[in-house]
Amino acid sequence: MPARSLALLAAAAVLLAAAAPAGAQAPLPGERIVAGVSAAGVDLSGLTIDEAAQQLTSAYGPRLSEGVLVRVADINFKLSAKRANARFDALKTAKRAFYAGRAAVGVAPAPGASAAGTEVPLAVEYSKKAVRRFVGRIDKRLSRAAVDARLKITTRRVRIAHSRRGRDIDAKALGDQIAASLVDPRLPRAFKPALVIVKPVVTADKLPATVITIARSSFKLRLFKNLRLVKTYRVAVGQPAYPTPRGRFSIASKQVNPTWSVPNSPWAGELAGSSVAGGSAANPLKARWMGIANGVGIHGTGQDYSIGTRASHGCIRMHVRDVIALFARVPIGTPVLIS
């Protein structure tokens, strides 16, 4: 026998051994696949391994070389079999069928023995990474995050930036469907995944109805209800050495006749670090307190002459009658813009 033919036979023997279960006996001369064995629906009963491989190649080779099409939102996305690195091994599949049939009826089956109902999967490999990249590209192209509604606040105006619905696809489900189709030619290779609507968490109806803005330069506190300016108050703000902080805050606490926890600071004198009861003459926090952040808040003052000046140690002072009126109209959580 020519050396080339011997080499081919040796190579075939190696492949067959690799496909066989551990310890399995090699095919006997003339041994065929047992009746009742199929692969992905193709009946391989009575065929040799080579004949079964040829039949599987004829039945599914062209189909398994096709790519995958995903159509969504009128956009086509294609994944070729080459890009998916999909490879169909018909010979390995035939060997699976051979050994599965033998396992069902034995090495030397009785005449007419059948392994009816024995089904083996096709030996198909593909790149899971390529499928993930493909689905990720679709997801990135189509997905759009939902946008929450928010308040756009300036010193003199409050507006709503309305929410917007987002959309998404079930990327995991699509990836699973594509993977299944690559290994089973009976499954469709064209998909139309549904676009899932993603609802925003915050819509306009959930936004605060009340807003406060404070303009330090003009010493004005403005109260807005349902986007409309309803009242403007004159206030005092922090001294240059103790400025009222700028930024966006919210009303974090509310108290009637609040206790004054005196800051441990030189300007507090002998009261530093102590507490002064609400309503006391020594307590500068008159009538009401609306805490904002870091010890800064809105409160009434007994020094009416200071309104319209930079007089406090960071807090916003109001006339007592004004702070009582404001207190009743402002819930905890109210946004506060200080500019």
List pLDDT tens digits, range 276-319.
677 777 778 889 999 998 889 999 999 999 999 999 989 999 99
* Cβ atoms within 10 Å, residue 7: 10
Measured N-to-C along each axis, helices 90-105 and 3-19 cross at an angle, to the nearest 10 degrees, of 60
Among 115-124, 155-164, 221-230, 312-321, which stretch is predicted with the lowest mean pLDDT?
Answer: 115-124
Active site includes 162?
Answer: no
List pLDDT tens digits, range 56-87.
999 999 999 999 999 999 999 999 999 999 99
Instruction: Indicate the length of the chain as a whole number.
Output: 339
Model pTM greater than 0.75? no
Q: Which amino acid is at 55?
A: Q
Higher-pLDDT residue of 208, 281: 208
Active site includes 319?
Answer: no
Token pair in block for residue 44: 């391989």
Token pair in block for residue 278: 């609400």
Strands 114-120 and 35-39: parallel
* Cβ atoms within 10 Å, residue 23: 5
The DSSP symbol for 280 reads: -
Q: Where are the domains of the chain?
A: 3-64+87-126, 208-338
Which homologous superfamily does the CATH classification assign to the domain defined by 208-338?
L,D-transpeptidase catalytic domain-like (2.40.440.10)
In which element (H, E) is residue 119 found?
Answer: strand 114-120
Handedness of CA 289, 293, 294, 296 (dihedral sign): negative
- pLDDT reading at 54 higher than 90: yes
Q: Which of 162, 313, 315, 319 is catalytic?
A: 315
The DSSP symbol for 278 reads: T
